[in-house]
C-alpha cells in the first residue's frame, strides 16, 4: 500500500489552528487542497492565512516563489460540503465534540467517493466512537498532528477498532510522504503521547501539593537534571492550564478513573481561579508586564568533603565517581553487598533516590536521578528531619564541587526526576505490552511529540530495566493508593532483563 498520489485532492474540514497547519503540509507536499469550514467566510480567511505563511517561507528561502505560486493555485476554499466531492482524503479538524464529528462524517459519506480515506485529527476522542457512526468505518482513521503542524514532525496514525489495515497503512505512508514521522498506534485514551506523558505533569504537581518544592525549583530540576526542554509548570502555562487539565481529565475518564491518571487538585484550583497561563497573563507563574520570574531554590556554597567512601554499585549514578575524582576529591571504593551509597566523612550517607522516604533512615541525604550526571547543572537533594545539618552541608558541598547547583527539597519519596521518569517508563512499557504501539514508536513519539531527551524504553535500558520497577515498588509502599503500583508489564520487563543479565 502506497501513499496517496500527489495529484489526488485532499480536503481539510475545520480551518482553525490545526486545519490550517495540516492544509499547509498537504499543499506544500504537492496535493491540490480544498478547505471547508462551517463558519461562513472562514475557509477563505484560512486560505489567505496559509498564503501569507507561504510568503514567509519564500522570504526564509524554504520555498521558491514559483513553488509558492503553484501551491496557491492548488488551494481552493469551498462554501459547501458538496465542494469536497472527488477528494481522496478528508482530514477533519473541527470542534472537539463527538456528536459534531460524527454528524460531519455521516454527511461526508454522502459526498466523497467510496475509496476516499476519512481521517480525524481528534486529540482526545475515541477514533472508534467517531467511526462508529459511519456506514463504512473501515476507511476511517485517526491522523493526529501536533501543533504547529507544519513544524512538528510527529503524526500518530490511530487505528480504530474497525479501521482496515489498508486504510491505516495508506494514511501512514501518506503522512510519511508529506515529510512527517508517523507512528502507528491503537485507539487508546491519549493515544501514545498524551497517555505516556501524563506523569510528567502529575508528578510535578504532586511534589508541589506535598510542599516538596515550589514550581520554579521543580521546573529547574527537571530541566537541568532531567534534561527536559521545559519544566511541567512553565510548559502547562504555555499550553494553557485548561487545555492541559482537560486532556488529563479525558484520559482519566476514558480509563474509567484509573488512579494512575488522577488529575491534580492544585491544577483544578488554578483553572477555577482563571489563571490559565500565558494567555491570561497568570498561571503557575505571573506573566504580566514586568513580572519577575521566581528563582529556583539554590543552596548557599558549602565546603566539600575531603573524601567519600563509595559502597556497592551506584547503578545509574556510577558516573559520579569519576566526576568526584576529577574534582580532586578522593574516592575510597569498598565492595558492599548491603546497599549502594556514598558515605561522607562525618558518617552521613548519600543515596540515589529510590522511591523510599528517608524518614526511617538515620543521617541520610537522597540525591535525585540525572539524565547524565556530567551534563547536569543542578542536582536536587532531600533529607529526613533527623539528618544532621553537617551531613546536608557535606552533601551540598560535594555536588557544588562537581560544578552543580544544589536544590534542597522536602522529603518527597522518589524526589522529582526519579519518580517522574519511573512512572513515564511504566506507562510506556504498559502501553507496549497492551499493543498500543511498538517500543520504537513509543520512543519516537515521546521524543518528537513532547521533546523528551530520550524515549522511555531507551531510558529504561540505560537505567537498567529493573530500576523503574524498584523505584515504583518503593513508592507504592509509601503511598498505597495504587497510583505508583508498577504494572504487570513493568514487572515482566524487569524480570525478563534480570534473566537476560543472568542475575536470576
Ligand X SMILES: NC(=O)c1ccc[n+]([C@@H]2O[C@H](COP(=O)([O-])OP(=O)(O)OC[C@H]3O[C@@H](n4cnc5c(N)ncnc54)[C@H](O)[C@@H]3O)[C@@H](O)[C@H]2O)c1
**Applying CB under 6 A, which residues contact ligand X?**
13-19, 37-39, 42, 93-96, 100, 104, 121-123, 145, 147
Specify the DSSP class assigned to residue 286: B
Distance (Å, whole) CA 156 – CA 442: 10
Residue 333: closest CA among 348, 313, 363, 353: 313
**282 classed as catalytic:** no
From the candidates 121, 124, 167, 194, give the one annotated as an active-site residue.
194
- Closest approach of ligand X to the CB of residue 436, in Å: 18
Specify the DSSP class assigned to residue 185: E
Residues 142, 119 contacting (CB under 8 angstroms):
yes
- Closest approach of ligand X to the CB of residue 421, in Å: 25
- Closest approach of ligand X to the CB of residue 243, in Å: 7
**DSSP codes joined into one string, 360-387:** GSSSEEEE---S-TTT-SEEEEEE-TTS
Q: Give CA angle at 164 (159, 170), nearest 5°.
A: 80
- Closest approach of ligand X to the CB of residue 88, in Å: 19
Question: Which residue, 18 or 409, is less far from ligand X as judged by CB?
Answer: 18
Distance (Å, whole) CA 485 – CA 26: 44
Distance (Å, whole) CA 6 – CA 26: 9
Question: Which residue, 13 or 376, is less far from ligand X as judged by CB?
Answer: 13
Question: Which residue, 245 or 458, is less far from ligand X as judged by CB?
Answer: 245
Residues 6+ apart with CB under 8 A from 15: 23, 35, 36, 37, 42, 43, 45, 46, 77, 93
**156 classed as catalytic:** yes
Distance (Å, whole) CA 423 – CA 354: 13
**326 classed as catalytic:** no
- Closest approach of ligand X to the CB of residue 449, in Å: 10
- Closest approach of ligand X to the CB of residue 34, in Å: 13
Question: Which residue, 47 or 94, is less far from ligand X as judged by CB?
Answer: 94
- Angle, in degrees to the nearest 10, between helices 417-433 and 488-500: 90
Residues 495, 468 contacting (CB under 8 angstroms):
no
Distance (Å, whole) CA 473 – CA 476: 5
Question: Which residue, 148 or 435, is less far from ligand X as judged by CB?
Answer: 148
Question: Which residue, 103 or 372, is less far from ligand X as judged by CB?
Answer: 103
Burial class of residue 65 (count of CB atoms within 10 Å of its CB; 0-12, 13-18, 19+): exposed
- Closest approach of ligand X to the CB of residue 76, in Å: 16
From the candidates 121, 124, 156, 264, give the one annotated as an active-site residue.
156
Residues 190, 198 contacting (CB under 8 angstroms):
yes
CA-to-CA separations, 456 to 197, 436, 464, 465, 498, in angstroms, rounded: 10, 15, 12, 11, 18
- Closest approach of ligand X to the CB of residue 16, in Å: 2
**338 classed as catalytic:** no
Residue nearest to ligand X (CB): 16
From the candidates 31, 92, 121, 123, give the one annotated as an active-site residue.
123
From the candidates 31, 126, 144, 474, give the one annotated as an active-site residue.
144
Distance (Å, whole) CA 368 – CA 359: 16
Question: Which residue, 154 or 186, is less far from ligand X as judged by CB?
Answer: 154
Question: Which residue, 14 or 77, is less far from ligand X as judged by CB?
Answer: 14
Q: Which residues are catalytic?
A: 123, 144, 156, 194
Amino acid at each position: 500500500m502506497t501513499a496517496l498520489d500527489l495529484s489526488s485532492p485532499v480536503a481539510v474540514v475545520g480551518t482553525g489552528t490545526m486545519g490550517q497547519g495540516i492544509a499547509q503540509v498537504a499543499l506544500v507536499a504537492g496535493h491540490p487542497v480544498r478547505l471547508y469550514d462551517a463558519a461562513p467566510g472562514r475557509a477563505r480567511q484560512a486560505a489567505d492565512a496559509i498564503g501569507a505563511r507561504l510568503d514567509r517561507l519564500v522570504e526564509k528561502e524554504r520555498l521558491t516563489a514559483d513553488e509558492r505560486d503553484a501551491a496557491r493555485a492548488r488551494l481552493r476554499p469551498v462554501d459547501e460540503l458538496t465542494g469536497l466531492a472527488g477528494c481522496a482524503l478528508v482530514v477533519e479538524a473541527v470542534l472537539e465534540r463527538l456528536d459534531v464529528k460524527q454528524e460531519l462524517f455521516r454527511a461526508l459519506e454522502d459526498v466523497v467517493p467510496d475509496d476516499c480515506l476519512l481521517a480525524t485529527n481528534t486529540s482526545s476522542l475515541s477514533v472508534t466512537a467517531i467511526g462508529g457512526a459511519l456506514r463504512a468505518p473501515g476507511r476511517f482513521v485517526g491522523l493526529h498532528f501536533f501543533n504547529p503542524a507544519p513544524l512538528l514532525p510527529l503524526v500518530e496514525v490511530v487505528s480504530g477498532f474497525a479501521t482496515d489495515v489498508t486504510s491505516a497503512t495508506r494514511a501512514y505512508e501518506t503522512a510519511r510522504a508529506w515529510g512527517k514521522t508517523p507512528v502507528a498506534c491503537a485507539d487508546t485514551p491519549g493515544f501514545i503521547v498524551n497517555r505516556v506523558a501524563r506523569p510528567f505533569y502529575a508528578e510535578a504537581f504532586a511534589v508541589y501539593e506535598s510542599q516538596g518544592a515550589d514550581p520554579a525549583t521543580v521546573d529547574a530540576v527537571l530541566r537541568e537534571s532531567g534534561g527536559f526542554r521545559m519544566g511541567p509548570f512553565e510548559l502547562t502555562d504555555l499550553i494553557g492550564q485548561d487545555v492541559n487539565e482537560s486532556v488529563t481529565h479525558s484520559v482519566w475518564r476514558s480509563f474509567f478513573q484509573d488512579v494512575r491518571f488522577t488529575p491534580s487538585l492544585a491544577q483544578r484550583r488554578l483553572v477555577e481561579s482563571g489563571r490559565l497561563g500565558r494567555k491570561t497573563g497568570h498561571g503557575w507563574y505571573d506573566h504580566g508586564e514586568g513580572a519577575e520570574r521566581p528563582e529556583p531554590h539554590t543552596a548557599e556554597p558549602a565546603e566539600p568533603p575531603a573524601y567519600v567512601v563509595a559502597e556497592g554499585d551506584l547503578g545509574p549514578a556510577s558516573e559520579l565517581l569519576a566526576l568526584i575524582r576529577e574534582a580532586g576529591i578522593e574516592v575510597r571504593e569498598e565492595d558492599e553487598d548491603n546497599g549502594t551509597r556514598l558515605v561522607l566523612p562525618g558518617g552521613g550517607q548519600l543515596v540515589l533516590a529510590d522511591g523510599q522516604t528517608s524518614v526511617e533512615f538515620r543521617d541520610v541525604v537522597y540525591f535525585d536521578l540525572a539524565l547524565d550526571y556530567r551534563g547536569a547543572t543542578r542536582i536536587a537533594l532531600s533529607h529526613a528531619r533527623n539528618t544532621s545539618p553537617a551531613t546536608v552541608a557535606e552533601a551540598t558541598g560535594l555536588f557544588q564541587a562537581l560544578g552543580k547547583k544544589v536544590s534542597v527539597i522536602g522529603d518527597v519519596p522518589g524526589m522529582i526526576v526519579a519518580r517522574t521518569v519511573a512512572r513515564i517508563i511504566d506507562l510506556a512499557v504498559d502501553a507496549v505490552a497492551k499493543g498500543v504501539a511498538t517500543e520504537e514508536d513509543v520512543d519516537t513519539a515521546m521524543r518528537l511529540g513532547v521533546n523528551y531527551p530520550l524515549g522511555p524504553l531507551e531510558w529504561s535500558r540505560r537505567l537498567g530495566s529493573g530500576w523503574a520497577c524498584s523505584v515504583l515498588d518503593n513508592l507504592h509502599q509509601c503511598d498505597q493508593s495504587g497510583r505508583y503500583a508498577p504494572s504487570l508489564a513493568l514487572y515482566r520487563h524487569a524480570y525478563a532483563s534480570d534473566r537476560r543479565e543472568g542475575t536470576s
